[in-house]
Amino acid sequence: METYPLYLDGTLLGKLICRRDGLYLTFEVYCFRPDNGLYRAYAVGERGELTLGVMEPRGEDLYLARRLSCREAEAAGPLRCCEARAVLPRAEEGWRPLEHPEDFFRSGFFKGQLRDVEGALWRERDGGRQLALPFDSRRPFLLTELFCFARIRLLQGRQYAVFTFDRQDQPVIL
């Protein structure tokens, strides 16, 4: 049996217990419930992550039990921790999923660079708009030409490069 910390937006809120049972691994997730939102649990390994599923309320906390084959789980590599992420963006942040990130810009130069990007978010902010693109230091930086305008932020349990633009799609330094 192994125990790992569970984080939500960088805050320790629970634990993941992993037990080996022959050719299977059983995962149990225990999480303090921060609000009435829905949260999905991810086992984070050195090479990737495993989606464990949506945690369900159990009293004042959230709980999830999941069984995966060892073969399926080995793709993530040795586990480091567990993360809880909001299933839907939290209303107070105003972030919304961006189904077609290439449509965020009105002009063509950056449109092509955002095709096939998954997990992008956007929101209106201070008379302009913000674009949040998934960030992973092990992968190429999206919108390389604008890297100096980005701020790396933790949103919904993931790291994002957040860009702010005025009404004319010009980047803004914050």
| Band (95; pLDDT cuts 50, 70, 90) | confident
Residue 59: domain span: 2-86
Examine the domain organization and report whether 71 and 114 are in the same domain: no
- Residues 108-125: what's their mean pLDDT? 83
Domain boundary among 27, 60, 86: 86
Examine the domain organization and report whether 66 and 130 are in the same domain: no
- Residues 60-75: what's their mean pLDDT? 92
Q: Provide the mean pLDDT of the chain.
A: 87
Examine the domain organization and report whether 137 and 161 are in the same domain: yes
Tokens linked to 90 = 């939290």
Domain boundary among 35, 61, 86: 86
Rounded to whole angstroms, how far apart are CA atoms 92 and 157? 15
Examine the domain organization and report whether 22 and 67 are in the same domain: yes
Residue 91: the pLDDT is: 43
Residue 71: the pLDDT is: 92
| Residue 88 reports pLDDT greater than 80 | no
Tens of pLDDT along 127-151?
A: 889 999 998 888 888 888 888 899 8
| Band (46; pLDDT cuts 50, 70, 90) | very high
Domains in the chain, number? 2
Confirm if 3 and 15 have CB atoms less than 8 A apart.
yes
Rounded to whole angstroms, how far apart are CA atoms 173 and 25? 47
Q: How far is CA 97 from CA 3, 45, 64, 123, 125, in A?
A: 32, 25, 25, 9, 15
Examine the domain organization and report whether 32 and 67 are in the same domain: yes
- Is 140 part of any domain? yes
- Is 81 part of any domain? yes
Q: How many helices (H) and strands (E) does the chain have?
A: 1, 14
| Residue 125 reports pLDDT greater than 90 | no
Q: How far is CA 24 from CA 1, 21, 44, 74, 87, in A?
A: 13, 5, 17, 11, 26
- Is 91 part of any domain? no
- Residues 99-118: what's their mean pLDDT? 81
Tokens linked to 88 = 């839907």
Examine the domain organization and report whether 48 and 106 are in the same domain: no
Residue 38: the pLDDT is: 83
Examine the domain organization and report whether 63 and 105 are in the same domain: no
Domain boundary among 45, 65, 86: 86
Give the residue, 93 or 50, on which the prediction is more confident.
50
